[in-house]
Amino acid sequence: MKKKLLTIAVTAAMVLSLVACGSNGGNSETKAVETSASETAAESAVSEGDGEKTLKAGATTGFFGAESLDPANNWDGWIMSIYGISENLFRLDDNLAPQPWLVDSYENTDDTTWVFTLKDGITFSNGNAVTAEAVKKCFERTYNNNTRAASTLKIDSMEADGQILTIHTPEANPTILNDLCDPMFGVYDAESEIDPELGASCTGPYVATAFTAMTEVKMDKNSNYWGGEPAIDHIELKIMDDVDALNMALQNGEIDMIAQLPAASASLFSDTDTYTIGAATSTRSQFLQFNLESEALKDVNIRKAISMCIDREGYADVVFAGYAKPSYGIYPDTLSYGGTDGINLSVDKYDTEAAKALVEAAGYTPEKPLELKLVTYSYNTGLLQMTDMLQPELEAIGIKLSIETYDVLDDVLQDGNFDIAALSYALAPTGNAQYLINMLFVSDGTDNYGHYSNSDVDADAQKLETTFDTSERDAIVKDLTQKVVDDCPDAFIASQQLLIVYNNKVTGVDVNPSEYYLITNTLDIAE
């Protein structure tokens, strides 16, 4: 694709480039919710009076959109962490290394036994104490309600004694601390009533008081927050999927912050003293997932031909305004096991002529095209722009591509009602390569909607489960990457940066590459 065409497309529409989680889209039906059982706890934790501070932030469906505030519901735990409502036993630093958070100390007593001593004096927002038993019951409920839990962290059994939580794993687990940083393992009070919409009492600096699914959440500060009383009294988070409206809202002072700023919008705020753009290299990538149960896509050459028709360089440079890098492997080169050094690439450039030859060899031509259906998020205009540009390129080589968009992709993907899915995932948000591997590449992966299966990849994934040495782990991931690149079950497109823009009244913003932590007790805003 020529960059001229990319430029025209960018001019035609602002780009909404980021989605916070895998197939997260949430329920397209929105429902206003009044506070109920959780409201009393919230009110008790909120300070009243004149001169209170309110921060208003806007974002897109993928970053702010939640179906409920139940931390164990689907991907909503991710959103709960972003909101500053839930917290984990461990927290990732700026290098994606896990650090104790709700934990005072820990010990790996043998290959399969981990002993965690929780900090004293921490309470949930409802006033109940955070004990080892409370964490145990929380994890048990999460495992019962979220299918991702078992694939992310396998637990054999747990024991609770006062503030000491002992976790037994079925095998040695070298990445358990990383795994415990996944917001899916956010700590909440599972022993108290959990509101079907507002969710449970958690330990974070803010407590939800009102909620409209996929639209808005309002929160008040937890004055008894164990990490120090937040400076901001009230937080209002709004979902605005019209990028122009989102940008205008910040410029007009209707909101104070845009979380996950579309890269194409950066120029609106970069050349002024009014705003600050915070950036961090994330592990987020956009990619195509092929349905290998689709008869034509069983042919690896067809999959590679489609991959060759993606102008990754132009897409990264123009659509993302330089805030992304083209991706021909899997993981970004910021990770020790990422990049494509040492990888033999069969697709290493934009090459429509080579793609056409592969398609013709399979018996398809522009006159007798292969017809395929691509599905993607209706709100991710970055992916929409990419697929719109891909469509004529494929038609020219003998592939007729129809594009369908959905507010919610989960059911479509699970039902297998697609040939290609255009997706956006954080590939290693906990710093652990197994996060993505266990979702996408192992035969029974939770997000392996394309039904990819390679016994050698499964074997590499199994090795990672019990290998502690970092260099050995990196070598295994490189080997697995080579196998996946050869098989091309997915075509990775671009690795991008996390951008947050805010007016200069706001201070204390921490842009973490994990994407997990936005609303913290360090935030402040001038009155």
- Closest-CA residue to 21 (of 453, 447, 452): 447
Strand order in the sheet with 164-168: 103-110, 113-118, 164-168, 157-161
Mean pLDDT along residues 477-493: 97
Output Rg (C-alpha) for the chain, integer angstroms.
Answer: 23
- Beta bridge partner(s), residue 439: none
* Per-residue pLDDT tens over the stretch 408-452: 898 999 999 999 999 998 899 899 999 899 999 999 998 999 999
Cβ-based neighbour number of residue 8 at 10 Å: 12
Task: Give pLDDT, residue 50.
Answer: 61
Place of tokens 């697609």: 418
What whole-number distance in Å separates Cα of residue 340 and Cα of residue 330? 8
Confidence band of 94 (pLDDT split at 50, 70, 90): confident
Mean pLDDT along residues 282-287: 90
Q: At what angle do helices 352-361 and 300-308 cross, to 10 degrees?
A: 160
* Per-residue pLDDT tens over the stretch 376-385: 998 787 888 8
* Rounded to 5°, angle at Cα 349 from 300 and 314: 120
Task: Give pLDDT, residue 71.
Answer: 87
Cα 62 to its chain centre, rounded Å, is: 8
* CA atoms within a 13 Å half-sphere pointing along the CA-CB vector of 303: 28
CB 309 within 8 A of CB 460: no
Dihedral sign (CA 319, 320, 321, 324): negative
Q: Domains in the chain and their CATH numbers?
A: 3-18+281-496 (3.10.105.10), 32-238 (3.40.190.10)
Q: Is residue 79 scored above 80 in pLDDT?
A: yes
In angstroms, the Cα distances linking 80 to 77, 378, 495, 508 are 5, 23, 24, 19
Helix (H, G, I), strand (E, B) or coil at 59: strand
Helix (H, G, I), strand (E, B) or coil at 172: coil
Task: Give pLDDT, residue 500.
Answer: 95
Q: Which residues contact 77 (CB under 8 A, 6 or more apart)?
A: 71, 86, 142, 146, 182, 183, 184, 185, 186
* Per-residue pLDDT tens over the stretch 175-228: 999 999 999 999 999 999 888 778 899 999 999 999 988 889 999 999 889 999
- Closest-CA residue to 116 (of 158, 178, 72, 171): 158
Task: Give pLDDT, residue 407.
Answer: 87
What whole-number distance in Å separates Cα of residue 509 and Cα of residue 521? 10
Mean pLDDT along residues 100-106: 98
Q: Is residue 120 scored above 60 in pLDDT?
A: yes
What whole-number distance in Å separates Cα of residue 150 and Cα of residue 437? 14
The bridge status of strand 113-118 relative to strand 103-110 is antiparallel
* Per-residue pLDDT tens over the stretch 27-55: 333 233 333 333 433 343 434 456 899 99
More confident residue, 340 or 79: 340
* Amino acid residing at 51: G
Tokens found for residue 426: 């954080």
Torsion angles phi and psi, residue 202, rounded to 5: -120, -165
**DSSP secondary-structure letter at 298?**
G
Q: Which residues contact 363 (CB under 8 A, 6 or more apart)?
A: none
Q: Is residue 230 scored above 90 in pLDDT?
A: yes
- Beta bridge partner(s), residue 56: 236
Confidence band of 271 (pLDDT split at 50, 70, 90): confident
Helix (H, G, I), strand (E, B) or coil at 216: strand
Q: Is residue 19 scored above 70 in pLDDT?
A: no
Task: Give pLDDT, residue 263.
Answer: 84
* Residue-wise DSSP of 86-133: -B-SEEE-TTS-EEESSEEEEEEEETTEEEEEEPTT-B-TTS-B--HH
What percentage of the chain carries pLDDT values higher than 70?
Answer: 90
Helix (H, G, I), strand (E, B) or coil at 212: strand
More confident residue, 322 or 15: 322
CB 89 within 8 A of CB 101: yes
The bridge status of strand 98-100 relative to strand 103-110 is unpaired
- Closest-CA residue to 75 (of 452, 446, 444): 446
pTM over the 0.85 mark: no
Tokens found for residue 299: 């042919």
